[in-house]
Each structure stands twice: as structure tokens, then as C-alpha cells.
Structure 1
Amino acid sequence: MKMLQFDNQTIWYDEELLTEDPKQVFEPNYWQEKGLVIGSAEGRGTTWFVETEMIPAALRHYRRGGLFGKLVKDSYWFAGWEQTRGVQEFKLLKILRSAGVNVPRPIAAQAVKSGMTYQADLLSEKVPNAKDLVAILQERALPEEIYRKIGKEIRKMHDAQVNHTDLNIHNILLDKDDKVWIIDFDKCFQQSGDEWKQGNLDRLKRSFLKEVGKSGIIWTNEDFEFLLQSMA
């Protein structure tokens, strides 16, 4: 991981994955002017999908959610460069990949400081030909084998002692080869012990139940049992 530091800005990047100028890649206009925007997704803000020289990537600007996010949209209290959101997620993705978990490759992160606060961005790999579980389960049921794969991937993440604090079915993807991916590790962290792991699974089950009513996904409690059995 390379690092560039200026008066009010620090950039971290993987030089094997990024050949563009690191100082420009966090601006959507940079990609738009080059005609390299290949899509977008709306969440708290817009995630831009772009075509870098090496791999397709997702560019995300960190934004707050909840009621506080309506007042302070994208600023965070500065407690040191290494504590900023982008580099924290960058490093966690590196740890997970080293542990064999299927997560996107981190490409670059930045933090820009203003007074006592900062803003942050992350450029990471866009998983090719993948859909989240909500989109897939709206169209078809998934076989037992896939739920067992999902459970094994979560088990690998837990064995790496990573607490995914927002584990839900929007953050689990399947690609065209039915490979399971886990995404969106903002505010996630390594944690010792095991007692917190059940909380991840409870949250995941609630998201299945929620989307049965909200999105009409095809899913049963038995499907979740297959997932749990594969983690034993």
C-alpha cells in the first residue's frame, strides 16, 4: 500500500491496481470526462461504477445515515489519518482477502481534512456480473447448495474475527458462477471473542424476513437453517 500525504489530504492506494493519478480518481467528473462511467447505484449517496485501466471499480463517498446525517451529511470528527473511514475499510478488505474471504479488492482511499473534521472516499473493485440476494430472490428461489456457500463465507469472515455490523442481504452478492461475495465493510472491525457473532446472524435473518414482506423475495426459514448448518 502506497501513501501520498499533503497538508490537508492523505491518499492510500495499491499501485498494482491503480495506474491513474491517485489525486484525480476520487472525482466523478474525472471519470465522466473520460467516458469511463459504466453505471451508478443510489444509496445514501451515489456510488459510481467506473472502468479503470486495470479493473472495473466502485467509487463511494462516505455519507452519514439516520437523523444526524440530515444535519451533517458527509463530515466526520478527525482523530488521526489512520482512523479515517476510507483507510479503515481499505485495510479491513486487505485482511479479509488474506483470510480467503471473497470481498472486493481495495484500490484506493482518501481523507480530506477541514478544521477538526474530514471527508472520505473509497475506490474498490466492482464485482463483475454480480447481483445482490434481494435482486436474485425476487426472481427465483436459491438451492440449498447456495445457502451453504453463504454460510461458509460468513464463517470465514468470522474466523478472521471481522464483525460485519451491517450484514444484510443487500450486502451479499452472487456472481454468474454462483460465487458468494460479501461487500460494504464501512464501520466494520476486527473483534475478539465469539459472543458478537450471533448478532451478525440475527441481523442477517431479520433482513431476509424484512425483504419477504417488502420485496416479495422467495425464501423460507429452512433456507436459513442450511446456511447455519454449513457454519458448524
Structure 2
Amino acid sequence: MLKTFEQNNYYIMFDDSLISDDIERCFDPQYWEQLNKVTGSATGRGTTWFVQLDAIQGALRHYRRGGLFGKIISDHYVFNGWEGARSIAEFNLLQKLNQLEVNVPRPIAARAIKHGFFYQADLLSEKIPDAQDLVDILQQRKLNEAEYHAIAIQIKKMHQAQVNHTDLNIHNILLDKQGNAWIIDFDKCYEQTGSEWKEGNLKRLLRSFNKELNKRQIKWDMQDWECLSKAYHQ
């Protein structure tokens, strides 16, 4: 069941069916370390901490800016209401996609802390078990037709839900050991009407394949793209 918790300077949204831990402390990595529940981490723009909850594993992320501006103001954003906070917006978007049975992480808890005209944000979401992103897999082997079909179906379902994934790339698509495809990282993504933008998502994904082909020599070629594209458009 979704619940909210609000004080003067912070707002928390959480699913109490997925977390029973101290909701006010669960966004602090040290809290999980003290409980000996940190199972790993990954480093990108910041550090994502993997933590063990009662029934599932979670991925805890503090929102950070990228680029040159991020070096000046690393993790503060202009406040324009709790619902506009990036963590709350991503939580709500993941919740909608889960209800529509798109394979995305389940949102567990989101927090925004207000500091004057600015805020900081954190999100705890499900860590997909036994899954790797496409970059890691394609450095080892080619994908088969069924796997490209599974990826295409999830992208299509996301688009049918009218969700624009503004950073659709092969780092943000996972495959688990059962061959299921998952889409992750919905920061700055949003619902959008119409259909014109959907081909833009696909073009961005194609650029990502080509980029990693040149950068990491992934095992991929245009025939693979045609397989994915055909499954998406059928």
C-alpha cells in the first residue's frame, strides 16, 4: 500500500508492502551498513547501494547532476513542489508502469528534502535479480532472436503506456537469466501524448548500439537491429 510522510522540510513516499525498515533512515547508506544489509554497490554519476530488504533487494540512489553544472551544484535542484521532485516523479512513473505490467523495477521509497528554494532527492527501487545490462552481455556473446523480441515487446509496452524514456540506451536495458527484458532508470522521463516521439526513442537506442560497437566492440550488427525493430513494429 502506498503511503506518504511529510514534515516541514521533507516528503517521503513509500510502499509498505515492500519495506518494513525505518522509513526515515532507509535513504542513508550507513543505516544499511549498520544492519549489515549492504550487498554491493555500483558507481556511475554517484554510488548506487544495493541493500537487502525482507523479501527483495533494493537499489538506493542519491540524485546527482552531470556535466559541468554538476561540478558546481552536485545534488541540488530548484524546488517547484513535492510532486515535481525528481525522486517522487520517478517513483510515480515506475508505479504506473508496474500497474500496466511493463517490466521495470518496483518503486520502494522516494524522498525529497527541501533547502530553501532547492531540494535533494533519493530513490530506493527494486534491484532486478540475476540480471545484466546489454552492454555487459554483448561484450560476451550475441543475443538471439527471442531476446531481441523480448526487448522490443517491453519498449512497445512502455510506449503504449505513453511513457517517453528520454535516455533509452543499452545500459538501461537488462536481461535476466530467464530471458526477460527489463527497462530501468526513469529519471527525467515522463508521460507524453501522441506518437511522433516514439521513433526518437528508438533512434536513440540505435545510436547507443553503434556507440558501444565502436567503443567496446560489442557482438552486434544491423541485422540484430532489424530483428528488434521488426518485433517492435509488428
- 2:63 aligns with 62
- 2:168 aligns with 167
Alpha-carbon offset, residue 53 of structure 1: 1.6
CA RMSD, Structure 1 to Structure 2 (Å): 0.6
- 1:123 aligns with 124
Alignment of 1:11-50 (within 5 A): 11-50=12-51
Q: Does 1:152 align with 2:150?
A: no
- 1:204 aligns with 205
The two structures have a TM-score, normalised by structure 1, of: 0.99
- 1:100 aligns with 101
Aligned positions, number: 232
Q: Does 1:188 align with 2:189?
A: yes
Alpha-carbon offset, residue 99 of structure 1: 1.4
Q: Partners of 1:132 and 1:145 in 2: how far apart?
A: 16
Q: Does 1:224 align with 2:225?
A: yes
Q: Partners of 1:175 and 1:195 in 2: how far apart?
A: 30
Please give the secondary structure, in 1, of the residue aligned with 2:101: coil
Q: Does 1:10 align with 2:2?
A: no
- Alpha-carbon deviations, 1:163-201, whole Å to 9, x = none? 000000000000111110000000000000001011100
The percent of aligned pairs where both chains have the same amino acid is 57
Q: Partners of 1:48 and 1:96 in 2: how far apart?
A: 23
- Alpha-carbon deviations, 1:71-112, whole Å to 9, x = none? 110000000011101110000001111111100000000000
Please give the secondary structure, in 2, of the residue aligned with 1:196: helix
- 2:178 aligns with 177
The two structures have a TM-score, normalised by structure 2, of: 0.98
Alpha-carbon offset, residue 149 of structure 1: 1.2
- Alpha-carbon deviations, 1:42-86, whole Å to 9, x = none? 110000000012310000000011111111100000000111011
Runs of 4+ in 1 over 6 A off after TM superposition: none
Gaps of 5+ in 1: none
Q: Partners of 1:86 and 1:35 in 2: how far apart?
A: 25
Q: Partners of 1:115 and 1:90 in 2: how far apart?
A: 23
Preserved contact between residue 19 and residue 54 of structure 1 (Cα < 8 Å): no
- 2:115 aligns with 114
Q: Partners of 2:153 and 2:57 in 1: how far apart?
A: 26
Preserved contact between residue 58 and residue 123 of structure 1 (Cα < 8 Å): yes
Gaps of 5+ in 2: none
Q: Partners of 1:100 and 1:27 in 2: how far apart?
A: 30
Q: Partners of 1:82 and 1:211 in 2: how far apart?
A: 35
Alpha-carbon offset, residue 127 of structure 1: 0.2
Q: Partners of 1:194 and 1:131 in 2: how far apart?
A: 30
Please give the secondary structure, in 2, of the residue aligned with 1:3: strand
